[in-house]
């Protein structure tokens, strides 16, 4: 089972002059993409000239994972590739959360609540446009890669535990594709940030996560709560 998690970045925003909104994929341009491949366990970077290689990776996957990939990243890639992608299966974090809650939730909010970390650290501030203007391609790759890593960890959290946490401390049941969830069980070990996030929200810690973390000093609760506290 090969899982690929990816994220694209544009050169311009949908509101920039000359760009005709969020569906003007060509008008926004293609600046960078990052992908994580479960087959190698490694990240890879793609500039505009590398789009065919990105397409080949996506088409080789048994499952392509991302946040908002159905409405943006996949059609954006196809617009610059010049053809439709032939994918086996997809799982869109944005779509799953929106279906469960009726709301669009930012990656930052999901990651802070569930993983205990966000897109950028304290004191950091950067936009894709500013990084491109400064030709800071290494920082751009780091920025994009962090989004991919957070999306991957959130997806595999769902695969392991069947839910995500959303602010302030709401447990949202979600499901991962059949036949894939067991495969992801040991790909991403529970992080201390996940345990810290659960404790800060005063929510019980799953026993499997408890055993994998050396952070805690008291036994876990045997029950879960899905209510806001």
At 72, the pLDDT band (50, 70, 90 cuts) reads very high
The candidate with the shortest Cα–Cα distance to 145, out of 30, 7, 4, 47, is 7
pLDDT digits (tens, 9 = 90+) for 53-66: 999 999 999 999 99
Q: What integer is the mean pLDDT of 212-219?
A: 38
| Other beta carbons within 10 Å of 78 | 15
Nearest-angstrom CA–CA distance, 133 and 129: 6
Q: What integer is the mean pLDDT of 212-229?
A: 34
Do 1 and 38 form a contact (C-beta atoms < 8 A)? yes
At 15, the pLDDT band (50, 70, 90 cuts) reads confident
Q: Tell me which of 13 and 182 has the higher pLDDT.
A: 13
Question: In the predicted model, what is the mean pLDDT of the chain?
Answer: 79
pLDDT digits (tens, 9 = 90+) for 122-171: 334 456 667 666 666 677 788 889 999 999 999 988 988 889 989 877 88
Nearest-angstrom CA–CA distance, 64 and 68: 12
User: DSSP letters of 10-79?
Assistant: -SS-TTSTT--STT-HHHH---EEEEEETTTTEEEEE-GGGHHHHHHHHHH-SEEEESSIIIIIHHHHHH
Write down the pLDDT at residue 213: 42
pLDDT digits (tens, 9 = 90+) for 163-205: 998 987 788 999 988 777 555 555 555 555 555 655 555 555 5
pTM value?
0.78
At 37, the pLDDT band (50, 70, 90 cuts) reads very high
Do 107 and 151 form a contact (C-beta atoms < 8 A)? yes
Q: What integer is the mean pLDDT of 70-96?
A: 97
> Strand locations in 69-210, DSSP E?
90-92, 163-166, 170-173
Write down the pLDDT at residue 13: 80
The candidate with the shortest Cα–Cα distance to 73, out of 131, 117, 34, is 34
3-212: what fold?
Nucleotidyltransferase; domain 5 (3.30.420)
* Torsion sign (Cα): 155, 161, 163, 168: negative
């Amino acid at each position: 089972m090969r899982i690929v998690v990816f994220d694209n970045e544009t050169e311009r925003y949908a509101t920039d002059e000359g760009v005709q909104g969020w569906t003007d994929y060509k008008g926004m341009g293609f600046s960078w993409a990052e992908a994580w491949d479960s087959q190698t366990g490694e990240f890879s970077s793609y500039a505009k000239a590398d789009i065919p290689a990105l397409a080949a990776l996506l088409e080789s996957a048994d499952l392509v994972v991302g946040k908002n990939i159905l409405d943006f990243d996949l059609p954006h890639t196809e617009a610059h590739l010049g053809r439709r992608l032939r994918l086996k299966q997809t799982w869109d974090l944005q779509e799953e959360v929106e279906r469960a809650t009726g709301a669009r939730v930012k990656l930052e909010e999901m990651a802070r609540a569930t993983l205990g970390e966000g897109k950028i650290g304290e004191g950091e501030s950067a936009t894709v446009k500013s990084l491109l203007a400064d030709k800071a391609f290494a920082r751009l790759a780091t920025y994009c890669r962090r989004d991919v890593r957070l999306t991957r960890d959130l997806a595999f959290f769902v695969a392991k535990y069947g839910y995500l946490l959303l602010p302030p401390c709401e447990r949202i049941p979600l499901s991962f594709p059949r036949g894939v969830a067991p495969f992801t069980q040991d790909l991403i070990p529970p992080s201390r940030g996940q345990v810290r996030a659960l404790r800060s929200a005063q929510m019980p810690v799953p026993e499997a996560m408890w055993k994998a973390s050396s952070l805690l000093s008291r036994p876990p609760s045997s029950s879960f709560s899905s209510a806001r506290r």
